A and B are shown apart, each in its own frame.
Chain A
Amino acid sequence: MTVETDASPAFAGYAHPERLVSTEWLAANLGTPGLVIVESDEDVLLYETGHIPGAVKIDWHTDLNDPLVRDYLDGEGFAALMSSKGISRDSTVVIYGDKNNWWAAYALWVFSLFGHEDVRLLDGGRAKWEAEGREYTTETPSPAPSDYPVVERDDTVLRAFKEDVLDHLGLAPSKRALIDVRSPEEYSGQRTTAPAYPEEGTLRAGHIPTAHSVPWAKAVAEDGTFKKVDELNAIYRDGAGLKDGDDVIAYCRIGERSSHTWFVLQHLLGFENVRNYDGSWTEWGSAVRVPIVKGEEPGELAVR
């Protein structure tokens, strides 16, 4: 039972405009049967201070990550989480959050690993909803548990592991592209953490050889919505040299900002082979004997 898509002209030109909804659309669709709104934030308490009416909360750390192994929850865990939030396999899920939808995009990517079909982002996220003075509530819904099937997570299509990145570096340079979405300071190796972010103990600084630097925020307009398709093409195709058919991997520090870029490349620009390397710099920057380049240039892949 999917809900009809947002036909807003603002989304014209995107490869998959059905992956976005506007604040107007969401405001008009509150309470529509088959629609579940999910808030996913960096700050674990923000939902409790007020959220879009009817929205349920899914936290990237306490809900989506496995508490023991550095991995996501498994098929049974995902089914249990979905059931507790009243989400069915055919529900239309709209996700929004703080920080320009970083964690919302991350949650959407995890939903996609489990093949949940109709999952969309609220363009502009929490900040836009708030800036427009739209309604918030502190009332937490208690949805009736849904019957969600146990679906095994598929890590082969949208997710890259460290070994995949190493294999990827072995492809012909004309067929592959690595996108580093971190800040210029992290890319060049001046620092290992995002400005104003906690030190996560990475041992080396720099970037993966040949990776282009395209900080995630380049995809975002001033009001927090995604830029139009022409602007995105100028950044990713003309600027970073991505071509249709390329095998693309995006990475950042722990995989949340690169989920945002993954969304742009896959759903807004229509690239078909885009993976998110969620191990990202917190893995690569501490791994033994992986190649690293410092400085502002992508650099060469050294043969050793």
Chain B
Amino acid sequence: MSESDLPPALATIRDDFLALEQRDRLQLLLEFANELPELPAEYADHPDLLERVEECQSPVFIFVDVRDGVVQLHATAPKEAPTTRGFASILVQGLAGLTADEVLEVPDDYPLTIGLTEAVSPLRIRGMSALLGRTKRQVREKRAA
């Protein structure tokens, strides 16, 4: 996928982070953390539907909905884990409304390109890469189903 093919919401998020100084990037990540929506009741009442993202240091659970070919990612993480909430929120917003094919074409290294490796550390960024990877896997499974 060429640079220009990155879905617009993900590109905007990346550009917003890159435009900031390192310390302000943490503040923006915190804003994302605060914006992570609550789980819809249908999933909140059914923890069995949620997949735990084992690679994250804090308990974070995701569920991917594919309806009429359009993907909606749902995620939940405790308030004591704002970094993980921020990662999840970036993907929830960045992937919103994309088709299954578009989600699968998002570059796997997107989390490494948004200017957080220094502010947050590469080790921690792995959690976001895992979130993206598991989201894509669910999309593949559900598209096939």
Q: Interface size on A (CB < 8 Å)? A: 15
B121 touches A61 (CB 8 A): yes
A199 on the B face (CB < 8 A): yes
A197 in contact with B57 given A44-B26, A48-B27 (CB within 8 Å): yes
**A98 to B80 Cα, complex, angstroms:** 8
B105 on the A face (CB < 8 A): no
Within 8 A of A (CB), among B18-49: 26-27, 29-30, 33
Of the listed stretches B1-9, B67-75, B81-89, chain A binds: B81-89
B79 touches A43 (CB 8 A): no
B54 touches A44 (CB 8 A): no
A199 touches B27 (CB 8 A): no
Of the listed stretches B91-99, B107-115, B123-131, B134-142, chain A binds: B123-131
A138 nearest in chain B by CB position: B30
- Which one of A46, A49, A198 has the highest number of Cβ atoms from chain B below 10 Å of its Cβ? A198
A49 in contact with B57 given A61-B121, A61-B123, A198-B127 (CB within 8 Å): no
A196 touches B59 (CB 8 A): yes
The 10 closest A-B CB pairs, nearest first, are A45-B82, A61-B121, A45-B83, A198-B55, A43-B83, A48-B30, A49-B82, A44-B120, A45-B30, A44-B83
A43 touches B121 (CB 8 A): no
Q: A interface vs B, CB < 8 Å? A: 42-46, 48-49, 61-62, 67, 98, 196-199
B54 touches A45 (CB 8 A): no
How many pairs of A and B residues are in contact by the CB < 8 Å rule? 56
Residues of A with C-beta under 8 A to B119: 44, 62
B56 on the A face (CB < 8 A): yes
- Can you give 20 A-B contacts (C-beta < 8 A)? A42-B57, A43-B57, A43-B58, A43-B81, A44-B26, A44-B83, A44-B120, A44-B121, A45-B26, A45-B86, A46-B81, A46-B82, A46-B83, A48-B82, A49-B30, A49-B33, A61-B121, A196-B57, A197-B57, A198-B130
B15 on the A face (CB < 8 A): no
Residues of B with C-beta under 8 A to A199: 55
A44 in contact with B124 given A198-B56, A198-B57 (CB within 8 Å): yes
**A42 to B79 Cα, complex, angstroms:** 14
**A46 to B27 Cα, complex, angstroms:** 11
**A163 to B82 Cα, complex, angstroms:** 38
Excluding A61-B121, A197-B57, 15 further A-B contacts by CB distance (< 8 Å) are: A43-B58, A43-B80, A43-B84, A44-B83, A44-B120, A44-B124, A45-B30, A45-B86, A48-B26, A49-B30, A61-B123, A62-B118, A62-B120, A196-B57, A198-B130
Residues of A with C-beta under 8 A to B127: 198
B56 touches A45 (CB 8 A): no
Residues of B with C-beta under 8 A to A61: 121, 123-124
Nearest CB on B from A50, distance (A): 10
Nearest CB on A from B69, distance (A): 32
A49 touches B79 (CB 8 A): yes
**A198 to B52 Cα, complex, angstroms:** 12
A196 touches B54 (CB 8 A): yes
**A61 to B80 Cα, complex, angstroms:** 18
B56 nearest in chain A by CB position: A198
B32 nearest in chain A by CB position: A45
Residues of B with C-beta under 8 A to A49: 30, 33, 79, 82
Nearest CB on A from B19, distance (A): 19
Residues of B with C-beta under 8 A to A43: 57-58, 80-84
Residues of A with C-beta under 8 A to B30: 45, 48-49
A46 nearest in chain B by CB position: B82
Nearest CB on A from B7, distance (A): 25
